Amino acid sequence: MRIISWIALACLAALSVMPARAQDSGFSWPISRQTFTIGDNGAWTGTFELERTAHDARAARSGARVDISYTAGQATIEILEAVTVKADGRRIAVTPDKIFDIAPQAARQVAMYSDTRTKSIVFPDVGAGDTVRYVYRLKHFASTWPGFSWVVPVRPSMRVKQAETVIEHAANLPFTEEHRGVDYRREIVGDRVRETFAWSNDRKVPDEPGDTSDLDWARRFAVSTFASYAEIGDDYGRLHALASKVTPAASALAAKIVGTVTEPREQARLLAEWVSQNVRYVAVSIGQGTLAPTPADATIVNRYGDCKAQTALLAALLSARGIESEPALIHSSVPRYTLTEVPVADFNHVMLHLPAFDLYVDPTAYSAAFGVLPWSNYDKPVLLAVVGHSRLARTPALRSDDNVVEVTTHAEISADGHITGTTSEHATGAMASDLKAWMALDLDEARATKQLDFFDGPGTGKWLDPVRDDAANDVSLKAEFAMADTIDLAAGEALVPPPGLRFLARPGTMLMGTHDTPRTHPFPCYAGRQVETLEVAVPEGFRPQRLPRDRTFETAIATYRARYAFDDRTLTVRREFVARPRQQVCTPEQSREMAGLLSRIRRDYASVVLFDRAL
């Protein structure tokens, strides 16, 4: 997480005690009740009452510990009650020595500074049919954003008998709400207002891996004291403007980077590439630093910073060369494609928009070329945060020609049945980013063996002079390989043309996700074109009995073509998959079409060729 708003952490505090989706089976929640009392400028106190029942032994084992996250620099936490309620009604209290305060854990290679902590409760004697009950108070005495906002989805995979969120505030406090599929009531008592949202979900619906965020389609409610998204944008815009102020150090560095280049877009490219290649990513999430970017001059000296710092530095360098930019707040890395109508400060990443080129640039997308975004950042809502001119916008949708991969494998079958060959991969756009990320691994014999086994079968191989250029919009990689298994064409063994030593996915996979069972929720879908050409030279005197038929399969958003030919003792198979959704979110109806298409593609990959000796 790169930008974490205080309310995002509040959500974690309230909801992290609820198990992750994969853990919901075997649990139900008899009670999930939260009460918030909101003060001015975003300060608040929340009381959380939760009960979780384990319905089997496995759930009991995994549910005997509860972790509650909070921000130590902005909030205090107090455990008011923690007991195991046995199935027969007995109550066993958690002793104080079984309540721990834990600092965040991260691998040594992860650079992260955070004042997030975890209160961990270990419940005694939890068995099947038992319930853990806990009540705690979270007092948020300092706020990152100058306001209170929250959006909560009702997760279908969680069985909740009685859920309720109560928000109390002064009648004169600006407050807006929206609710979809939950009960809502509003009560006024004197100068106070009580807003109540309630729901239940006794029927658990299994999760559907690969769908979009439940905030896009599930029942939900949202609340906010912000008047508009523009107000949220202006708040961040002021912080960004201070951090990205042009200084003598920034001007001197920008001039050094661009040298004699005068064309503005080329200058912008050079500056963005310099930041990506010279500033190491280090997450900073401490106090106001959770939201406020590190000043550009400090990042120049430190040569490290999170997305806020790197974006502010790039903005300062661009401004020094007369190039305008706007910080763009986005919900990155999570498949969320909508925002609530009520303005909620729920963003976890920031990048830059360059109006002169109508281009988005993410300096922390290290393997992406200038103007190329990570897959998950296309066709998403963004908040352009410019003081006095903040507004909602949307990143561009992908087009098929934006992301192209071409993989060509030349294989040779020797007279004794050994198969050797070479593979060439070429990719552009986000596909190139993926290939560059693969190239960052150790390209050794062990990796070659693993890749061959994944795509085809056991074998050995090596890559030929791999050169990774993170600034390039296209990238190529070549390899040679030898399969471990031989083939006896004369004995009638069927040939499946080898896909070769490769990293990039085969046509028909990845772009549209999996659809073994048609989906019931929207799903992310990406435009692109995948081509593979497999050429297999067979020994002299062999000819195919017959070739598989050429095939063309098509839906409203995708087309697959396969072509087979044999000439001069070489079998050639060319497969092409073109995905052309207009948006990066596709519908369950389109999933039903894709299920049939992908089934046909899998059958085509299983096609074999039998050979006879020519007389």
C-beta of residue 69 within 8 angstroms of C-beta of residue 118: yes
When pLDDT is averaged across residues 433-440 and rounded to a whole number, the result is 94
| β partners of residue 412 | 420, 537
The model carries a pTM of 0.90
Q: Do domains 231-394 and 401-613 have the same CATH topology?
A: no
* pLDDT attached to residue 206: 85
- Structure confidence at residue 134 as a pLDDT band (50, 70, 90): very high
C-beta of residue 234 within 8 angstroms of C-beta of residue 352: no
What are the tokens at 443?
């390209």
Strand locations in 72-218, DSSP E? 75-85, 91-93, 99-102, 112-114, 116-122, 131-140, 149-153, 160-170, 176-180, 183-189, 192-201
When pLDDT is averaged across residues 229-244 and rounded to a whole number, the result is 98
- Structure confidence at residue 248 as a pLDDT band (50, 70, 90): very high
C-beta of residue 387 within 8 angstroms of C-beta of residue 476: no
Looking from the CA of 170 toward its CB, the CA atoms found within 13 Å total 9
- Structure confidence at residue 106 as a pLDDT band (50, 70, 90): low
3-state helix, strand, coil split of the chain in percent (to 5) is 25, 35, 40
Token pair 């965040």 in the structure block, residue: 104
- The 10s digit of each residue's pLDDT in 23-71 is 345 889 999 999 999 987 778 999 999 999 999 999 999 989 999 999 8
- Structure confidence at residue 111 as a pLDDT band (50, 70, 90): low
- Structure confidence at residue 471 as a pLDDT band (50, 70, 90): confident
* pLDDT attached to residue 39: 85
* pLDDT attached to residue 110: 53
- Structure confidence at residue 615 as a pLDDT band (50, 70, 90): low
| Burial zone of 535 (CB within 10 Å; 0-12 exposed, 13-18 middle, 19+ buried) | middle
- The 10s digit of each residue's pLDDT in 173-213 is 999 999 999 999 999 999 999 999 999 998 888 889 999 99
> How crowded is residue 95: how many other Cβ atoms within 10 Å of its Cβ?
10
* pLDDT attached to residue 261: 97
Residue 252 has pLDDT above 70, yes or no: yes
**Where exactly are the structural domains of the chain?**
6-225, 231-394, 401-613
* pLDDT attached to residue 18: 33
Token pair 């958003």 in the structure block, residue: 557
Residue 8 has pLDDT above 80, yes or no: no
Closest CA to 235 of 351, 343, 74, 363: 343
When pLDDT is averaged across residues 261-290 and rounded to a whole number, the result is 91
| β partners of residue 332 | none
* pLDDT attached to residue 25: 52
- The 10s digit of each residue's pLDDT in 334-358 is 899 999 999 999 999 999 999 999 9
C-beta of residue 325 within 8 angstroms of C-beta of residue 318: yes
Closest CA to 235 of 226, 246, 244, 245: 226
Instruction: Name the 3-class secondary structure at 142.
Output: coil
Residue 99 has pLDDT above 60, yes or no: yes
Q: How far apart are CA 86 and CA 257, in angstroms?
A: 67
CATH no. of 401-613: 2.60.120.1130
When pLDDT is averaged across residues 137-151 and rounded to a whole number, the result is 90
When pLDDT is averaged across residues 442-453 and rounded to a whole number, the result is 96
- Structure confidence at residue 112 as a pLDDT band (50, 70, 90): low
- Structure confidence at residue 116 as a pLDDT band (50, 70, 90): confident
> How crowded is residue 54: how many other Cβ atoms within 10 Å of its Cβ?
23
C-beta of residue 362 within 8 angstroms of C-beta of residue 272: no
Residue 484 has pLDDT above 50, yes or no: yes
* pLDDT attached to residue 593: 95
CATH no. of 6-225: 2.60.40.3140
Contacts with 516 (C-beta within 8 Å, 6 or more apart), sequence order: 595
Q: What is the mean pLDDT of the chain?
A: 91
When pLDDT is averaged across residues 536-545 and rounded to a whole number, the result is 96
Residue 272 has pLDDT above 70, yes or no: yes
H helix or E strand, kind and range, residue 231: helix 229-243
Q: Lowest mean pLDDT: which of 1-10, 126-135, 460-469?
A: 1-10
Which residue stretches of 35-138 are H helix? 57-62
- Structure confidence at residue 14 as a pLDDT band (50, 70, 90): very low
When pLDDT is averaged across residues 513-524 and rounded to a whole number, the result is 93
* pLDDT attached to residue 22: 35
Higher-pLDDT residue of 17, 577: 577
The 8-class DSSP code of residue 584 comes to S
Query: What is the CATH architecture of 231-394?
Result: Roll (3.10)
* pLDDT attached to residue 104: 65
- Structure confidence at residue 143 as a pLDDT band (50, 70, 90): confident
Strand locations in 266-371, DSSP E? 280-281, 283-285, 304-305, 326-330, 349-354, 359-361
Percentage of residues of the chain with pLDDT beyond 90? 83
First to last CA, the chain: 67
Closest CA to 22 of 150, 157, 163, 213: 157
Q: How far apart are CA 364 and CA 279, in angstroms?
A: 9
Q: Lowest mean pLDDT: which of 24-33, 397-406, 451-460?
A: 24-33
Closest CA to 69 of 138, 122, 5: 138
